[in-house]
Chain A
């Protein structure tokens, strides 16, 4: 079992829908990262959080340290949000454990 689990693995939504992607981890962490990977491979860091909640535009990330769980929410989803979303647990100075990603497709 991977130390970082994401769900769902695949998600198809209609434009405008509210989307939630979940990440659970079993290791101690100093921070949890959410990344976005577009077709072609480029990865963009969306959030780094160690407690509470962060918001950037239509994206919201939350983390519950006690429950070892984080969620990424997308409000008013758009086809350009289609990508793979990856959570990564920062569990040591330079140790990152990655989830397998959630492939999101938003239909127009």
Chain B
């Protein structure tokens, strides 16, 4: 399997639930990203990991908790979310470095919070 994969593709959860999104890349990249895409709004960068170290955290609420156990896997743990957190969550990877490199995106997880 190649590219960037994300599971699950769709998720419905209540505000009291705890769930996790998973991302896996098979491209040998060293940087991985979580993005949020809400309707009618630009993509928002949430977290960046480079060589498993978090390098960016764009003021994301603590109800979103990332985890990067190795350079191929990235998780986004969700707890006590709000309905406004409903969105498409996209994972991406790149070769990194100061130029960032071309990013390769996964298919996304469409999340609905009830």
Contacts and interface: CB of A to CB of B under 8 A. Distances in A.
B97 to A, nearest CB: 8
B45 A45 contact: no
A86 B90 contact: no
Nearest to A86: B43
Interface of A (DSSP majority class):
strand
B31 interface: yes
Contacts of A42: 105, 107-108
A94 B100 contact: yes
Interface stretch (A13-21, A60-68, A70-78, A95-103): A95-103
6 contacts: A30-B98, A30-B99, A31-B100, A42-B108, A94-B31, A94-B56
Interface of A: 2, 4, 30-31, 33, 35, 40-45, 48, 86, 88, 90, 93-101
